[in-house]
Structures are given as structure tokens and as C-alpha cells.
Amino acid sequence: VQDRAYWEVHIHEVVAELSSRLLVGMAANVLGSEVLLQELGATPRTFGVQLGAGGAAPLRAGDVVGVAYDQAVFPVSFNIWLNGTLLSTPLPRGLKGEQWPALYLAGCTVDWALGEEHWKFASSCPAGFSALMASRNVLGD
């Protein structure tokens, strides 16, 4: 079980700075659902912070978005860094139970950097946090 995780999203291409958007956040694992086709936060059990058009910060090619999720505390915390600078973001809501990292993209191309070997701003990773671990079924079939 992992209560604290850090990962990065590397922005490779931004089609139009004024209209491109990235929502980075969390979503419950809802099998067979169309939830991830919608913006994060538009449906129950999802949460996202928008970067780019109308968001917390502009979005440009070459940017690195760092994300830290902590469900070891109550209420859960969700922090975002842009190129190593912590952003002011709204408090997460609706994040209960098992959560998965999630993205919503509009007009941009990104890479997930889930492992430490791919991080560009490892210094943003808070103490006590680590890269995402593979999910395991403890009970088995």
C-alpha cells in the first residue's frame, strides 16, 4: 500500500498556448466507465488542477509538472509544482478509497515520468514521498 506518491508530467508540445489545457489529478478506478473521457473534476470521484488556458499557470513546451499526492493525512493533499515552483491550488475533494493518477489533455502532448530515473525536478519530491509503486492485489483470486 502506498499513501504518498510523486510523479512528473513532461510537456512536449503545446498546439496553441491560449487554448491548450492539461488537467492533472486523480481518479477512482471505475471499470468500464467513460469517466476518463471527461475533464477531471467534472464527475464524482475525480479531481484535477488545470494548467494552460484559464488555469493555475500557463502551459509551454518544455515545462515539467511535478505532482505529490498524500492520502496518509486528512484531508488528503495534492500539490503541484511547475518547473520546480510550488503552485497555489484548490483543496482536493471527492478523493476517497483507491485513487489513480489521471490526466485530461486538450491541445498538448505529454510524457508521464512515473519512475525516479525519468524525473527532471527530483528536488521537488517532498521527504517521505516516492515514485509510484505497481498496484498489487493482496487478496489474490
Q: How many domains does the chain have?
A: 1
The pLDDT score that the predictor gives to residue 113 is: 93
Q: Is residue 135 part of a domain?
A: no
Instruction: Read off the pLDDT band of 13 (50, 70, 90).
Output: very high
Is the residue at 130 inside a domain? no
pLDDT in tens, 71-112: 887 888 889 999 999 998 877 776 677 778 888 899 999 999
Nearest 5°: phi and psi at 69? -120, 125
Q: Is residue 134 part of a domain?
A: no
49, with CB counted inside 10 A (0-12, 13-18, 19+), is: buried
Q: In CATH, what number is assigned to the domain containing residue 110?
A: 2.60.120.920
Contact 88, 95 (CB under 8 A): no
138 in a domain, yes or no? Answer: no
Q: What is the pTM for the complete model shown?
A: 0.85
